[in-house]
Amino acid sequence: MYKNICSCDICNHKLCTKKVSIFSSLSPEQLAKVANLIIHKEYQKGDLIVMEGESMDSLVIINEGQVKAFRNTQDGREQILYIFSEGDFFGERNLLRDQASTYNVKALEKTHVCLIHKRDFQVLVKDFPDIALKVMEELCQRLDRLEHTVETMGTGTVEARVSSVLLEFADKYGKAHPKGIMIELPLSREGIAHYIGLTRETVSRKMSMLQDEGILEMLGNKKVLLLDRAALERNLE
């Protein structure tokens, strides 16, 4: 944790820029210059960071914490599109094109973000074209993930959807553990349901089933110990 080293603004700034792949091609001096452009902001769990339809004036980088990007249908249902964590960023599309946000973003926990103003970002992109390539790289990864999601939602069984999201969380948030992979879930059962288009009851039931099959072990509501990763992968088809 950087806080153990130095918690002054300068260090925070620098580390913030280092966490993000889009700046990875910059030299330390250039990074320092970028750091000067950054504004910090903190949100509490449940705070709405951006609202759908709102026009954004900054690129938002997650420095610490987690957020969900989602849309609401008129009848109140929610569809989660992305979960952004430390090092992820959003709002880039609203800066590149001049367009309002197409989704809401809400903090899932206490979250520290770094903001780069539109005009600064556009200058950066011009000065360092590699940044555009990195942004493109990130857009491609999101396309890959969404294509995979569409495939799973279109052709997959409910088991496949639940297995798929658990594997995604295992890769992103999992930590080695003597008995398997320990996963700290970023979402509640209901949140998971809204991520894969199911109801909380169905998610509950399928996870209980996976536990009965010895594939995983639920530790309270927020942790899952994945015992048999291969079995989940077999569920994908």
Partner DNA sequence: CGGGCACTTGATAGTAATCAAGTCCGGTGG
Partner DNA sequence: CCACCGGACTTGATTACTATCAAGTGCCCG
Residues within the interface to a copy of itself (CB under 8 A): 71, 73-75, 77-79, 81, 93, 96-97, 102-103, 129, 132-133, 135-137, 139-140, 142-144, 146-147, 149-151, 153-156, 194, 196-197, 237
What is the token pair recorded at 233?
């992968």
Compute the least distance from the CB of residue 82 to a copy of itself, in Å.
9
* Cβ closest to DNA, residue 101 vs residue 235: 235
Q: Work out which of 138, 200, 217, 231 binds DNA, going by CB under 7 A.
A: 200
The Cα–Cα gap between 156 and 113 comes to 36
The Cα–Cα gap between 235 and 205 comes to 16
| Cα angle 157-160-161, degrees, rounded to a multiple of 5 | 95
> Whats the size of the chain, residue-wise?
237
Q: What x-and-dash track marks residues 54-93 binding DNA by CB under 7 A?
A: ----------------------------------------
* Cβ closest to DNA, residue 98 vs residue 237: 237
3-state secondary structure at position 89? strand
- Non-local CB neighbours of 198 within 8 Å, separated by 6+ positions: 158, 161, 162
Residue 9: CB atoms within 10 Å: 11
Q: Which does 79 bind (CB under 5 to 8 A by kind): a copy of itself, DNA, none?
A: a copy of itself
Q: Which chain residues interact with DNA by CB under 7 A?
A: 157-159, 188-190, 197-205, 207-208, 218, 220-222
